[in-house]
Amino acid sequence: MTSSLTLAYFEATYGGGEHTMNEVKFYNVKTRDFVTVPTSQVKRKKYEKTTKSGSTQVRFAVRANVDGTNLTKFVSKDVYDSLNVPEE
C-alpha cells in the first residue's frame, strides 16, 4: 500500500490521520449500521490456519464487544502492527 493510500485508509477507517488512531469503525451486522469504538475497548487477534497444501495462512483482526455484540474487523498486517492495544 502506498503512503497516500495508507493515509486515506486510516482517515476513512479510524477517523484521523496516520498517527492518531483514537477509534475504530466497525460494521455491526445485527443493527446494519456502522459503530465507532474507542481504541481503549479494542483488542487485536491473529487467526492462523493450515491450508490443504500444508502452508499456514494468517489473518489479522481487530475485535470489540459493544452492547453484547461481538464485532470483528479484518485488517492488514501493517495496521495490526501499528495498533498499540492488547492482544486477545
- Cα 49 from Cα 52, distance rounded (Å): 10
**Residue that the C-alpha cell 452492547 belongs to:** 67
Q: What pLDDT does residue 22 have?
A: 86
Which of 57, 49, 60, 56 lies closest to 82, judged by CA? Answer: 60
Q: What pLDDT does residue 30 have?
A: 94
**Residue that the C-alpha cell 461481538 belongs to:** 70
What tens digit of pLDDT does each residue of 33-54 get?
999 999 999 999 999 999 999 9
Exposed e or buried b per residue across 32-59, where buried means at least 16 C-beta atoms within 10 angstroms of its C-beta: eeebebebeebebeeeeeeeeeeeeeee
pTM: 0.73
> Which residues have C-beta within 8 Å of that of residue 51, sequence separation ≥ 6?
57
**Low-confidence residues of the chain: pLDDT under 50:** 16-19
